[in-house]
Amino acid sequence: MKIKLHVWRQENEKAKGKMESYDLDGVTPDMSFLEMMDLLNEKLIGESIEPVAFDHDCREGVCGACSMVVNGEAHGPQRETTTCQLYMRHFNDGAEIYVEPWRSAAFPVVRDLTVDRSAFDRIIQAGGFISNHSGPKPEPNSIPIEPGVAETALDAASCIGCGACVAACPNGSAMLFTAAKVSHLGMLPQGQTERYDRVKNMTTQMEEEGFGSCRNYAECEAQCPKGISIAFIGRMNSDYLKASLAEPVDRRGKMHAQ
């Protein structure tokens, strides 16, 4: 196969980027999209042009590192597929392919197709955990968990934190990412103690990071490589409402003045 690539090139966060076009020959249908990018980089190195920088690691769809907008869609045209698991057989010989980084004010470009997603880590730091130390713990079977609940919590926990939801959203909202973590922990008995603080703190952090608000476009669900459902956003909103209505009590049990 022969393809024409238009790739976003940008030297660093401050530099002005632009699309560059490259013709690439020798692409085969069984190549993954990232192997095609490897091939492009080999060719560029041969021509003494600096290779295209992109994030990637596991190349089997679970680490969440790869992050390319391919022909306008986060992770490309295949549903529930990360870029690393997208194969060239889904493109025609002679195709023109546009490759861009995630576009969001909260994800600044680091170089070419790599972006800074540390905002996601900071949202988790705001409450995406069950406070815990290492050491002896209660026998897990002493707290039975209904298998349906455990499975739904796992559906939410399957989020790989790639950021496609943000890239797909016309508003650049991180609601699906945040809701997935809030729901995963909020559904389980272990996560109840911090449930309402968690939803408030994580959503506050989300707004501080500069992500947009949710307008129910549902593009996030459509382009999520793990098929995380927007029903979790509804669940988070419901928890958020309950948290806002609850009487504010601080950690020592004193009631705040209203």
Partner 1 sequence: MLTLDAKLPTGPINEAWTNHKDQLRLVGPKNRPKYKVLVIGSGLSGASAAASIGAMGYQVDCFCFQDSPRRAHSIAAQGGINASKNYRNDGDSTWRLFVDTQKGGDFRAREQNVYRLAELSTAIIDQAVSQGVPFAREYGGKLANRSFGGVLVERTFYCRGETGQQLLLGAYSALEEQIAAKSVTMHTRTEVMDYVIIDGKVRGVISRNLVTGELTRHVADAVILATGGYGNVFYLSTNAKNCNVTALMRAYRRGAGFANPCYTQIHPTSIPASGDYQSKLTLMSESLRNDGRIWVPRKEDESRKPADIPEEDRYYYLEERYPRYGNLVPRDVAARNAKDVCDKGMGVGPTGYGVYLDFGAAIESKGADAVKSKYANLFEMYHRITDDDPTQTPMRIFPAVHYTMGGLWVDYNLMTTVPGMFAVGEANFADHGANRLGASSLMQCLADGYFIIPVTVGDYLSRMDKDTITTDHPEFAKIETEVQDGIKKLLSIKGKRSTNSIHRELGKIMWEHCGISRSEKSLKGGLEKIPALREEFFNDVRVLGEDESMNQSLEHAGRVQDFLDFGELMCRDGLLRDESCGCHFREEHVTPEGEAKRNDDDFAFTSVFEYAGPGKDAVLNKEPLNFEALPLMTRNYKS
Binder of partner 1 out of 12, 204, 213, 244 (CB under 8 A): 12
- State the nearest-atom distance from the C-beta of 255 to partner 1, in Å: 25
- State the nearest-atom distance from the C-beta of 245 to partner 1, in Å: 25
Question: Per-residue contact track with partner 1, 71 to 90, x per CB under 8 A?
Answer: ----------x---x-x-x-
In single-letter form, the type of residue at position 195 comes to: R
- State the nearest-atom distance from the C-beta of 64 to partner 1, in Å: 6
Closest CB to partner 1 among residues 17, 217: 17
In single-letter form, the type of residue at position 189 comes to: P
- State the nearest-atom distance from the C-beta of 156 to partner 1, in Å: 9
The span from the CA of 95 to the CA of 199, in Å, is 45
Closest CB to partner 1 among residues 28, 216: 28
The span from the CA of 109 to the CA of 52, in Å, is 13
Query: Nearest to residue 219, comparing CAs of 123, 104, 118, 119?
Result: 104
Question: Per-residue contact track with partner 1, 117 to 156, x per CB under 8 A?
Answer: xx-xx--xxx-xxxxxxxxxxxxxx--xxxx--xx-xx--
Terminus-to-terminus CA distance in the chain, angstroms? 67
Query: Nearest to residue 110, comparing CAs of 160, 73, 163?
Result: 163
- Say whether residue 42 binds partner 1 (CB under 8 A): yes
Query: Nearest to residue 166, comparing CAs of 123, 228, 105?
Result: 105
The span from the CA of 134 to the CA of 32, in Å, is 40
The span from the CA of 243 to the CA of 194, in Å, is 11
Residues 199-218 touching partner 1, rule: CB under 8 A, are: none
- State the nearest-atom distance from the C-beta of 247 to partner 1, in Å: 25
Choose the binding region for partner 1 from 28-36, 164-172, 228-236, 240-248 (rule: CB under 8 A).
28-36
